[in-house]
């Protein structure tokens, strides 16, 4: 008689693999935090990831939990289907600013407005990464990119989009927080935010959104240390850190 195959997965980093992320990139840090939180919660076997295109999509090489590579911008739509079919799973999207706030803006807003019970991990580095360093919805005014060689100009390109504040205008979302990984204290707060988002999802509370302000030294044209300074001096004044909504504290 054939024995039933036992399938166990973990959230740890794949062993003996050199990271393909650029020096100073914070994707690796965020991936580690997600894995640590899931392990500490005892939910390693329940974690499912819907990931965006580009640098976010590289993450599948370094995690060992289930993941789906989604059409550009469609991760929230995919996560909706995954969570509704696997309600006991811990589902999250992992998306950059171009993926979530530009190409996928409709999917993001509609999932948030429905209060879908999954978590969004939103990486905001103010630029398109792997696709060539183009201007993203979150690119700062005056910031140069391959499509704004003279800097972003409000009259021509519009203003930076603040996704956490926009989502905070909707009724359904349960938890919204913006953090950074630019220093050790920020890394600790980011881990805490991811954990809270996952815990609320596990309790069936609905849509949770964690925006993480990160760097892209390669496309910013900076070395990793200077990129950290750029986050603190330029990015954070535009995208202030903090909890925008936590319904759990109101109940």
Statement: residue 10 has pLDDT above 80:
no
Closest of 58, 53, 65 to residue 10, by C-alpha: 65
Q: What percent of the chain has pLDDT over 90?
A: 75
Q: What is the pLDDT of residue 250?
A: 81
Mean pLDDT of the 217-239 span: 96
Mean pLDDT of the 157-168 span: 97
- Residue 58 has a CB neighbour count (10 Å cut-off) of 18
Determine contact, residues 118/93, Cβ cutoff 8 Å. Answer: yes
Statement: residue 3 has pLDDT above 70:
no
Query: Out of 11-25, 43-57, 108-122, 197-211, which region has the weakest mean confidence (pLDDT)?
Result: 11-25
CATH superfamily of 34-249: Thiamin diphosphate (ThDP)-binding fold, Pyr/PP domains (3.40.50.970)
Mean pLDDT of the 181-192 span: 97
The 8-class DSSP code of residue 241 comes to: -
Tens digit of each residue's pLDDT (9 = 90 or more) over 30-75: 999 999 999 999 998 899 999 988 787 777 777 788 888 888 889 9
pTM of the predicted structure, to 2 decimals:
0.92
Q: What is the pLDDT of residue 14?
A: 55
Q: How far apart are CA 41 and CA 240, in angstroms?
A: 29
Q: How far apart are CA 206 and CA 175, in angstroms?
A: 8
User: Which of 11-15, 21-25, 47-51, 192-196 is the most confident on average?
Assistant: 192-196
Closest of 17, 32, 20 to residue 57, by C-alpha: 20
Q: How far apart are CA 214 and CA 180, in angstroms?
A: 6
Statement: residue 8 has pLDDT above 70:
no
Mean pLDDT of the 129-145 span: 91
Determine contact, residues 123/48, Cβ cutoff 8 Å. Answer: no
Q: What percent of the chain has pLDDT over 70?
A: 93
Q: How far apart are CA 44 and CA 97, in angstroms?
A: 27
Mean pLDDT of the 86-98 span: 95
State the chain's mean pLDDT as an integer.
91
């Amino acid at each position: 008689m054939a024995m039933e195959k036992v399938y166990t997965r973990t959230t740890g980093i794949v062993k003996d693999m050199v990271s393909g992320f650029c020096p100073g990139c914070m994707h690796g840090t965020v991936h580690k935090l997600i894995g640590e939180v899931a392990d500490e919660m005892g939910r390693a076997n329940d974690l499912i990831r819907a990931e965006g295109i580009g640098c976010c999509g590289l993450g599948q090489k370094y995690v060992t939990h289930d993941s789906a590579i989604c059409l550009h911008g469609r991760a929230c739509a995919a996560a909706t289907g995954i969570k509704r079919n696997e309600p006991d799973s811990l589902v999250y999207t992992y998306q950059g600013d171009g993926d979530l706030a530009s190409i996928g803006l409709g999917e993001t807003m509609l999932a948030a407005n429905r209060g879908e019970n999954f978590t969004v991990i939103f990486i905001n580095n103010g630029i398109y990464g792997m696709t060539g360093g183009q201007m993203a919805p979150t690119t700062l005014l005056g910031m140069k990119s391959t499509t704004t060689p003279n800097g972003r100009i409000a009259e021509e390109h519009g203003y930076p989009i603040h996704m956490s504040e926009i989502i905070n205008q909707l009724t359904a979302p349960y938890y919204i927080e913006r953090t950074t990984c630019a220093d050790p204290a920020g890394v600790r707060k980011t881990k805490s935010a991811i954990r809270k988002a996952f815990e609320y999802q596990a309790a069936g509370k609905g849509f949770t959104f964690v925006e993480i302000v990160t760097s892209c030294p390669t496309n910013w044209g900076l070395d990793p240390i200077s990129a950290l300074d750029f986050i603190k001096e330029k990015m954070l004044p535009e995208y202030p850190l903090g909890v925008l909504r936590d319904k759990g504290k109101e109940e």
